[in-house]
Amino acid sequence: TLHSRASWSTDSEDSDSSGAECLYRVVLLGDHGVGKSSLATIFAGIQEKDLSDQEKGEDTYERTLTVDGEETTLIVMDTWEAEKQEEDERWVQDYCMQVGNAYVIVYSITDRASFESASELRIQLRRLRQAEDIPIILVGNKSDLVRCREVAVEAEGRACAVVFDCKFIETSASLHHNVQELFEGIVRQIRLRRDSKET
Ligand code: GDP
Ligand code: MG
């Protein structure tokens, strides 16, 4: 049902019908194990231990945030890693690359390979969605694991975001640090683009 609501928002994006234009799909990208699902469940306001079996199968979460006094509904899609066969995964990944209104590219600060994957994902997105100015946020997760850090904050994380023309934030899903800020940042990026189109 979330998928059908999501596609309905695409049709209404250009219209002024009240409410409808405030629904946006945010797709989480990144290597296995970097913390995508952890970030998504924090967004959804679910504690891991509270997840029912049915909810564990869910990978799409909808929540309305009030940011700067205005409500915006985000549909966060944690669908990048399909659990089934490889052919399925390709289809799902192509789909993910096409449907996002905004993207969160996650790496782990303790895993250099995941940082390199993040750059590749940014390049892939740029190629596939060239004509569009989509908000992208690069996220260095697991910032609590200071002793295992492999990717520097300023010299690498932030510098990479500058090169790739996207926003940057470090988060810790474990400590819930900067997670709220991450999703609020996405809402602000979406609004900036919306507002500049209106004028
Ligand atoms: P996904 O494969 O990208 O969805 O990653 P998960 O959300 O499943 O997380 C993979 C593992 O990393 C799990 O064991 C999480 O508990 C752990 N993890 C996720 N985020 C953090 C974090 O910010 N700090 C630490 N220390 N561990 C984390
Ligand atoms: Mg996951």
Sole residue written with tokens 């790739």: 164
The CA-CA-CA angle for residues 134, 178, 33, to 5°, reads 75
Probe residue for ligand 1, chosen from 31, 34, 38 as the CB with the greatest number of ligand atoms within 8 Å: 38
Ligand 1 binding pocket includes 36 (Cβ within 6 Å): yes
Query: What's the complex ipTM?
Result: 0.99
Q: pTM for the whole thing? A: 0.86
Averaged pLDDT for residues 78-85 = 75
Determine how many CB atoms are found less than 10 A away from the CB of residue 48. 10
What confidence tens digit (pLDDT) does each residue in 42-55 have? 999 865 556 555 55
**φ, ψ at 45 (rounded to 5°):** 75, 25
User: DSSP per residue over 97-162, as a string?
Assistant: HHH-SEEEEEEETT-HHHHHHHHHHHHHHHHHTTTS---EEEEEE-TT-GGG--S-IIIIIIHHHH
